[in-house]
Structures are given as C-alpha cells and as structure tokens.
C-alpha cells in the first residue's frame, strides 16, 4: 500500500483510502477488499505467538558470499538495513495458545525472502529442534525462491531442508507450514510442500515458475486466479485458505491434534 499521510493510506489492491490505525488493527488486511498485505516477520511473530514467548535463535548466522557473486554483499547489507536481521529467515521457539513449537518466519523484505545457505540452515535447524524436543515445527513462508547469488549452494538448501522434513516425518514429528505472499519456486518445491498440513493466507502468490514463464511454456489457458492460494487450494495443494485473523486459532487447533501423542 502507499502511504498518503500518517493517518491514511491507500490499498494497493482496491485503491481505497484506509485509516492507518484501523488498517493496523485489522492486521494489515484491507477493510474494503480483504486484500492481505504483506507484513514483516516481527509483526508476524507478534500476531501469531503467545505474547513474549518467541525466543530467537541463530540471530548471528550470516552469509559470507561464497561465490563472490556480483553485488551480493550490497544486497545483503540492504536487506539487513531493511529488516534488522542478517538474513531472510528468523527462527526460534515460541508458544501458540500455550503449546510449545519450533518456529521460523521468513521476511520478504530481506532479498525477497530468498533461501541461501543461512535460510536453509535455519529451516533445517527449526525442523531438527522440533524432532529433538518432540514439538511441532511451524514455519511461515514469504519468498521468491532460492537465492541465485549462492548458486548451487542455494539449490542444495532445497535438498537439505527436504531431508530434515523427511526425518521429522519418519519420526512422527508434525510440521505445519503457512504460505504467505509470495511462496514460490525453490522454497515451494522443497520444504514448504512437505508440510503435513499447509495453510495459506488468501490471495497469496503461490507457484513454481514466474507467471510469464508458465504462460509461455503452457499450451492451455492461464486461469484468472493462476498461482494464488485459492488456485492451489482448488488443485489440492493446500489444506485450507485461512483469514489472517483466524490463523492463530486454526494453527493452535492443528498443532494440538497433531501433537496429541508426541
């Protein structure tokens, strides 16, 4: 959304002018069109977990530009300035309606939430901690995919995170994933799709390839809601599309059922 003044802003979807305070109270969901605007990882943590229970881990992990990729260091610095973090994934432990979880939340504002070595490592550790403590893992995605600035290392994060998910699955430890806008490519094609239960926010972009690539490659018609949460729901890829305001309680119930025998 665009900021109009401190008191008002304009919804980037429906163009309606909204009261800033009401918009924030509404968890950044447009009161007029229902569009779920992106929120920061910190905000996500605040509205999802029991107050004060999120304990961040591995805050110090950072990329060291292993490929010496053009402009990568600058982008890392820019991301750090935008988010106050070293990389796109924040992880830790938290409680959700009194139940302990191993949690991770991605921040799109850090290099488009892309997954390089640090994000992959944090996701793997999130799942491994869940296995170790026998508590559910809960992960919020917000990503354009793998981070190409780390080349093949980024591709390998797909395998690494998938391996962790498989281990959790084999050990009977639940993993619930929440797709937020956007959840794409290398992340969707690895750990995100391996969750036991997948929830998604309405209208999130969820897909494998950029829409342009898909349309070029395909012979068929591109549906209007292509690569949205709703499209993926229709095609059986998502368990439920859940309003932001209901996510916390839905998550709590799912986590409760799946950890009944942990």
Partner 1 sequence: MAKTWHEWEKPLLDLEEGIQKLRDLVPKAPPDKAAQLEKQIEEFEKKRDTFLRVKYGRLGPWERTLVARADNRPYTLDYVRAIVTDWVELHGDRRYGDDKAMIAGLGKIDGISCVIVGQQKGRDLKQRQFRNFGMAKPEGYRKAIRMFEMADRFGLPVISFIDTPAADPGVDSESRGISEAIAAGMSSLFGVGVPTIAVIIGEGGSGGAIGIGACNRVLMLENSIYSVIPPEGCAAILWREPTAGDKAASALKLTAQHALDLGLIDEIIPESFGGAHRNPAETAKNVEEAVVRHLRELMVYDRDTLRTDRYAKFRAMGVFTADEAFTL
Instruction: Kindly state the smallest distance separating residue 50's Cβ from partner 1, in Å.
Output: 18
Residues near 42 by Cβ (< 8 Å), separated by ≥ 6? 84, 90, 107
Instruction: Kindly state the smallest distance separating residue 165's Cβ from partner 1, in Å.
Output: 6
4, 17, 32, 171: residue in contact with Zn ion (rule CB under 5 A)? 32
33 binds, among Zn ion, partner 1, none (CB under 5 to 8 A by kind): Zn ion
Query: What is the edge-to-edge ordering of all strands in the sheet holding 17-19?
Result: 2-3, 8-10, 17-19
Q: Is the Cβ of residue 150 or residue 181 nearer to partner 1 in the bound state? A: 150
21 binds, among Zn ion, partner 1, none (CB under 5 to 8 A by kind): none
CA distance linking residue 8 with residue 150, whole number of Å? 40
Instruction: Kindly state the smallest distance separating residue 257's Cβ from partner 1, in Å.
Output: 4
Q: Is the Cβ of residue 13 or residue 134 nearer to Zn ion in the bound state? A: 13
* Residue 35 binds to Zn ion (criterion: CB under 5 A): yes
Q: Is the Cβ of residue 32 or residue 55 nearer to Zn ion in the bound state? A: 32
* Residue 254 binds to Zn ion (criterion: CB under 5 A): no
CA distance linking residue 162 with residue 100, whole number of Å? 23
2, 4, 21, 33: residue in contact with Zn ion (rule CB under 5 A)? 33
Considering only the stretches 28-36, 144-152, 181-189, 191-199, report the one whose residues sit in contact with Zn ion under the rule CB under 5 A.
28-36
DSSP string, 194-242: G-SEEEE-TT-BEESS-HHHHHHH-SSPPPTTTTBHHHHHHTT--SEE-
Q: Is the Cβ of residue 14 or residue 211 nearer to Zn ion in the bound state? A: 14
Structure letter (DSSP) for residue 29: B
Instruction: Kindly state the smallest distance separating residue 229's Cβ from Zn ion, in Å.
Output: 16
Q: Is the Cβ of residue 12 or residue 55 nearer to Zn ion in the bound state? A: 12
Residues near 118 by Cβ (< 8 Å), separated by ≥ 6? 61, 62, 63, 86, 87, 88, 89
35 binds, among partner 1, Zn ion, none (CB under 5 to 8 A by kind): Zn ion
Q: Is the Cβ of residue 24 or residue 97 nearer to partner 1 in the bound state? A: 97
Going by C-alpha positions, the residue among 9, 13, 83 that lies closest to residue 42 is 83
For helices 41-48 and 244-258, give the axis angle rounded to 10 degrees.
Answer: 60
Residues near 27 by Cβ (< 8 Å), separated by ≥ 6? 39, 47, 244, 245
Instruction: Kindly state the smallest distance separating residue 214's Cβ from partner 1, in Å.
Output: 5
14 binds, among partner 1, Zn ion, none (CB under 5 to 8 A by kind): Zn ion
Q: Is the Cβ of residue 107 or residue 150 nearer to partner 1 in the bound state? A: 150
Contact (CB, 8 A) for 32 and 11: yes
| Residues near Zn ion (CB under 5 A) | 11, 13-14, 30, 32-33, 35
């Amino acid at each position: 959304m665009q900021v109009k003044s401190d008191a008002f802003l304009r919804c980037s979807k429906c163009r309606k002018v909204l009261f800033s305070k009401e918009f924030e109270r509404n968890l950044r969901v447009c009161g007029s069109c229902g569009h779920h605007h992106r929120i920061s990882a910190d905000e996500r943590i605040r509205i999802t977990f029991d107050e004060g229970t999120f304990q961040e881990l591995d805050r110090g992990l950072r990329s060291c530009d292993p490929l010496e990729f053009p402009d990568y260091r600058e982008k890392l610095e820019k991301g750090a300035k935008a988010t106050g973090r070293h990389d796109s994934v924040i992880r830790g432990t938290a409680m959700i309606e009194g139940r302990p979880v191993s949690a991770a939340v991605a921040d799109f504002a850090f290099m488009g939430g892309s997954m390089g070595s640090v994000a992959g490592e944090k996701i793997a550790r999130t799942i491994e901690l869940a296995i170790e403590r026998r508590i559910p893992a809960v992960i919020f995605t917000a990503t354009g995919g793998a981070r190409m600035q780390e080349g093949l290392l980024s591709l390998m994060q797909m395998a690494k995170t998938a391996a962790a998910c498989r281990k959790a699955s084999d050990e009977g430890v639940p993993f619930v994933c929440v797709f937020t806008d956007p959840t794409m490519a290398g992340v969707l094609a690895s750990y995100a799709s391996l969750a036991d239960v997948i929830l998604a926010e309405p209208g999130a972009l969820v897909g494998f390839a950029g829409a342009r690539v898909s349309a070029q490659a395909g012979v068929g018609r591109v549906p209007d809601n292509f690569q949205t949460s709703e499209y993926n729901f229709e095609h059986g890829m998502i368990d439920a599309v859940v309003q932001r305001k209901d996510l916390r309680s839905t998550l709590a119930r799912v986590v409760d059922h799946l950890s009944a025998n942990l």
